[in-house]
Amino acid sequence: MEEHNGLKKKIGESNTKAFASHYAKSMFFTVVVLTVLTFIGTRLFIHIDLNLYGYMVGTLVFIGGFFYRFISWGERPPTKILIKKGIKLLFTKTTPKIAVQHLAIFDFIKKRGVERWLQHILIGWGCILACLVTFPLVFGWMYFTMNDNGSYTIVLMGLDLMKVKADGMIAWLSYNALNVAAIMVTAGVCMALHRRLKNMQARAEQKFIYDFLPLFLLLFISITGLLLTVQNVFLDGWLQPQMSLIHQFSVIVTLIYLPFGKLAHIPFRPMSVFARNYREHYGKEAMKECKVCSNHFVSVEQSNDVIQVLGVNDIDFNMKDGFNLAELCMPCRRKYRISRFSGFATHQLKVKEANQNAHG
């Protein structure tokens, strides 16, 4: 048994040493999987649209940037705990409901206002719709073939999915899916820009590179995409090749920028399901009592995890009073910090703070 475990350990170590880092390993297997799927979807690389080659390169660069950002974030001790326990709790009963609230209807944003919720719905689902159409076309997983009888055959992963009339509703929706997505994103971005420019608090907190540039990039992509349709339908293709290059360039720049700017929260968003599951599951088991006021403020599991993470990072918050600073609720923690400077036991005063929302 020990020999078997030793052999498995050696095999695991040899696989790890085959790659310079987790990043290199993730990129290698991702490129292999994409290549295999493209090989199957394009029927042995026969149906490849070279006009979309730039989008493919931009997508691969985006994946590389995303893995770099995600792995560097995932290697942090608190993130490791969240991911490990999030995967463990992934198949709980609450996961579907939480996933719908956080990833589909953005219910948590509605609490901030209906207008902000609507703009997130338009931008979020507009981008999702665009990705669902663009990436299968770019990698050849989906394409259309023209039939002699005035109909199209939709091919998905190398298989003839269905035949549709060229002037039918399904064909119209297929042709204009990106236009619908562009209109949704344009409307959502305009609402966001209006709020950011009108709201004085938002204006004071905004930075051009971090807050406005992502919106301008999405707006530029949407407008140039819509102009391609206008040029094709109403202008007989006038200057369409030039506009096609401009649109492609804007998409590639945005894909390269996406993992390193504010838009990175889009691919990171599924992690919120892990966090919500973590809080709700362990919150039902046992709650931690504050060592000073005895109020329940977080789960025992979360409190223990915080102390563990602090220990991993060689941060010692064990106080002379016999408790760890992480074992105090936020109000008592602030009062205790004051007591360390003033010499007066302010954390023991039975006085509530004016801000009663400062818990956890």
More confident residue, 184 or 233: 184
User: Do both 262 and 339 map to the same domain?
Assistant: no
Q: What is the pLDDT of residues 188-234, one digit of tens each?
A: 999 999 888 887 777 777 888 888 899 999 999 999 999 999 998 88
pLDDT in tens, 6-19: 545 555 555 556 77
Per-residue model confidence (pLDDT) at position 344: 66
Reported as a single tens digit per residue, the pLDDT across 107-161 is 888 888 888 899 999 999 999 999 999 999 899 898 888 877 778 888 888 888 8
pLDDT at 360: 40
Note the pTM of the prediction, 2 decimals. 0.79
Is 186 domain-assigned?
A: yes
In this prediction, residue 346 has a pLDDT band, given cuts at 50, 70 and 90, of: low
For the stretch 255-280, what's the b/e string if a residue is b when 16 or more beta carbons lie within 10 angstroms of its beta carbon?
Answer: bebbbeebbbebeeeebbbbebbbee
Out of 247, 272, 297, pick the residue that ends a domain.
272
Q: Which of 244, 272, 300 is the last residue of a domain?
A: 272
Reported as a single tens digit per residue, the pLDDT across 290-341 is 888 888 888 888 888 888 888 877 777 777 777 888 888 888 888 777 777 7
- The region that residue 237 occupies, defined by phi over 0 for left and psi between -120 and 50 for alpha, beta otherwise, is left
Tell me what pLDDT residue 120 has.
92
pLDDT recorded at residue 4: 52
pLDDT confidence of residue 175:
85
Mean pLDDT computed over 72-88: 88
Residues 41/139, Cβ–Cβ less than 8 Å: yes
Does residue 229 share a domain with residue 305? no
Same domain, 299 and 250: no
In a domain, 11, yes or no: no
Q: Say yes or no: 75 and 49 in one domain.
A: yes
Please count the structural domains in the chain: 2
Asked whether 224 and 241 are in contact (CB, 8 A), the reply is no
pLDDT digits (tens, 9 = 90+) for 21-78: 788 888 888 889 988 998 888 888 888 888 888 898 899 899 998 988 888 888 888 8
pLDDT of residue 358: 46
pLDDT at 351: 60
Q: Cα 293 to the chain's mean position, in Å?
A: 38
pLDDT digits (tens, 9 = 90+) for 246-270: 999 999 999 999 888 888 888 888 8
The confidence band for 356, taking pLDDT boundaries of 50, 70 and 90, is: very low
Number of neighbouring beta carbons within 10 Å of residue 246:
15
CATH code at position 145: 1.20.950
Quick one: pLDDT at residue 243?
A: 92
Domain residues for the domain of 243 are 18-272
220 and 168 co-located in one domain: yes
Q: Is residue 92 part of a domain?
A: yes
pLDDT given for residue 3 in this prediction: 52
Q: Which two tokens stand for residue 21?
A: 């880092």
